[in-house]
Amino acid sequence: MLLDFGNVGMLLLVALVFPLLALGTAFFIRPRPRQHGIEKSLPYECGVDTVGETWVQFRASYFLYALVFVAFDIETVFLYLWAIKFQELGKFAFIEMFIFLNILLVGLGYAWKKGALEWK
C-alpha cells in the first residue's frame, strides 16, 4: 500500500516543482521595474487602477455558507463509506443511510425556511 502512495508522493513533488519552476522562470525573465518605470510594476498594465484596499470586510452571512459546507463535507465521508459497501450490506444499510440523510435534510429544510439559502 505504501508503494502505491509513492505515486502520490511523486505527484506531490511535481506539484511542488511546477509552480516553483514557473515562478522562478518569471523571476529571471521579467522586466525590471527600475528600468521601465513604475507603470510596468503594476499588477495590470492596462485597465483601471484599483481604488482603496483590496482587503475588504465580507458580510457575515457568507460565513454561513462556509459552515453549512463543512457540515455537508463531513456527510460526504459517511456517504462514501456507505456507497462502497452498499451492495453487501443491503436493505439494513439503506434504511440506516435514509435516516442519516433525513436528519441532515431537516437542517437543510431549516436553512431553506430561514432564508439562509437566498443570495442577497
Partner 1 sequence: MNELIYTVAFYIFAAITVAAAFGVVTKSNLVHSALLLALCFIGVSGLYVLLQADFLAAVQILIYNGAIAIVFVLGTMLTRRSSRHGTNDTEVNIPSRVVTLVSGLFVVVTLGVIATTPWHYSSGVIVEDTPSLLAQLILTDYMVVMEAAAVLLLAAMIGAIVLAKGVEE
Question: Which residues bind to partner 1, rule: CB under 8 A?
Answer: 1-2, 5-6, 8-9, 53, 55, 57-64, 66-71, 73-78, 80-82, 84-85, 88-89, 92-93, 96-97, 99-100, 103-104, 106-108, 110-111, 114, 116
> Least distance (Å) from partner 1 to the CB of residue 51?
13
Nearer to partner 1, 21 or 103 (CB): 103
> What does the angle CA 32 – CA 36 – CA 37 come to, to the nearest 5 degrees?
110
Helices 91-113 and 61-84 cross at an angle (nearest 10°) of 170
> Least distance (Å) from partner 1 to the CB of residue 50?
13
> Least distance (Å) from partner 1 to the CB of residue 14?
15
Please say whether the dihedral angle defined by the alpha carbons of residues 11, 12, 17 and 22, taken in this order, is positive or negative: positive
CA distance 85 to 79: 10
